[in-house]
Structure 1
Amino acid sequence: MPMTMPSELLYAAKHAKGFMPHEEGLALYETACHYGKLGPICEIGTYCGKSAVYLGAAARQAGSVVVTVDHHRGSEEIQPGWAHHDPTLVDPRFGKMDSLPTFRSTIAAAGLEEEVIAIVGRSERVAALWNTPLAMLFIDGGHSDEPVTHDYEGWAPHVMPGGALVFHDIYPDPADGGQAPYRVYRRALESGAFTEVAQTGSVRVLERVGAGI
């Protein structure tokens, strides 16, 4: 039975800065409500916290916690000169992107500071130190081949049996979007360690069923 997201958190998620379509965000929330009962949730790619609101709302419902990992300097597609660049996120002191202050405001305004824990650093560096089994892993960081591959190789082995690996921006047709996440998603399926259990828009939910990754 689908869970109902509290109205104040729905409002916070809808009005947060970010790229997550609401229908996909609700699917993320329902997935996290289900799998979050098994343990912690991890998000790779925080940006300004929009998806972390959906995940944090689910963590509260499930009695879990969300760890969200990002260096907050922005992935390739949001740098100056690219289509998704937001000049309001540039720190003028350093001339670099910095989404961390906006993320903190988003989570504080949503009242989710107890449920959402930020780790500021590069995904592969943090993954090398990580050893906690994950009930759900959401990969939504950089969308070119190298970062998506690092996110998968560094974090997917930590998904517990029966846990979920969730990808965003999966486009089988190249005309719809970039192919790096799709290639890594296919790699996860072909490993035999995961089987697909749900999809909504560009969100794909895979459940861990085997050991080989």
Structure 2
Amino acid sequence: MSNATMPADLVHAAKRAKGFMPHAEGLALFETAVEYGPRGPICEIGTYCGKSAVYLGAGARQAGSVVLTVDHHRGSEEIQPGWPHHDPTLMDPRFGKMDSLPTFRSTIAAAGLEEEVIAIVGASERVAGLWNTPLAMLFIDGGHSEDPVTKDYEGWAPHVIMGGALVFHDVYPDPGTGGQAPYRVYLRVLASGAFREVRQEGSLRVLERVGPGIG
């Protein structure tokens, strides 16, 4: 575990950014990025408005790395109109669709992290099909139902280098505290033997690649 300290200005930027990442879990992301970032690039699946990207970008800066963050910016299922986490200020009235990209750009610019955080705008599955770059760290935090979580894992985890980190968010063993799809995929990962768990922080799980395949 890294002993790095996140700069106060970036802590402030992360806390004020729109999003759902609890600060303690965000700091765990930052520390994981500092630890694994020197080995290569970091990839985030599920950008939303950039809150977690600030934590990752702060870690990437200290590690001399970079964060690629992938999202179509039209919103995952659980933040669409009619769902509890929907934010109507993110709706684009011209198309009747969500658009979190302008807010993300503002978040990253305000944090001064435009050199460290690179947005890739597109569906995760489509981008994964074109991806060839080895990853030192992969953070999966896109759609939280069964299909998107499974596709994010299967599409992106093969690119994590040996000794690299795979991080899941919203892992809830108790169905009463949250959705179960990330938890089921997380259990599948552990059962595969390709990754071992090295850290827990709230609903965040950090796993390190120790073997071939993804299970």
TM-score by structure 2 length? 0.98
Match of 1:24 in 2: 25
d(CA) in 2 for partners of 1:195, 1:16: 31
Counterparts of 1:131-170 in structure 2, within 5 Å, are 131-170=132-171
What is the RMSD computed on CA atoms of the aligned residues?
Answer: 0.5
d(CA) in 2 for partners of 1:71, 1:127: 13
d(CA) in 2 for partners of 1:14, 1:97: 23
Task: List alignment gaps of at least 5 residues for structure 1.
Answer: none
The 3-state SS of whatever aligns with 2:161 is strand
Letter in 1 for 2:135: L
Cα deviations across residues 67-121 of structure 1 (Å, max 9, x unaligned)?
0000000000000000000000000100100000000000000000000000000
Letter in 2 for 1:172: P
Does 1:207 find its partner at 2:197? no
The 3-state SS of whatever aligns with 1:207 is strand
d(CA) in 2 for partners of 1:15, 1:151: 28
Letter in 2 for 1:208: R
Cα deviations across residues 163-209 of structure 1 (Å, max 9, x unaligned)?
00000000001001000000011111111100000000000000000
Counterparts of 1:1-213 in structure 2, within 5 Å, are 1-213=2-214
- Per-residue deviation, 1:212: 1.9
d(CA) in 2 for partners of 1:20, 1:181: 15
Task: List alignment gaps of at least 5 residues for structure 2.
Answer: none
d(CA) in 2 for partners of 1:186, 1:5: 31
d(CA) in 2 for partners of 1:195, 1:6: 30
- Per-residue deviation, 1:131: 0.5
Letter in 2 for 1:155: W
Letter in 2 for 1:65: V
Letter in 2 for 1:4: T
d(CA) in 1 for partners of 2:56, 2:198: 19
Letter in 1 for 2:117: V
Letter in 2 for 1:68: T
d(CA) in 2 for partners of 1:129, 1:52: 22
TM-score by structure 1 length? 0.99
Runs of 4+ displaced beyond 6 Å = none
Q: How many residues end up aligned between the 2 structures?
A: 213
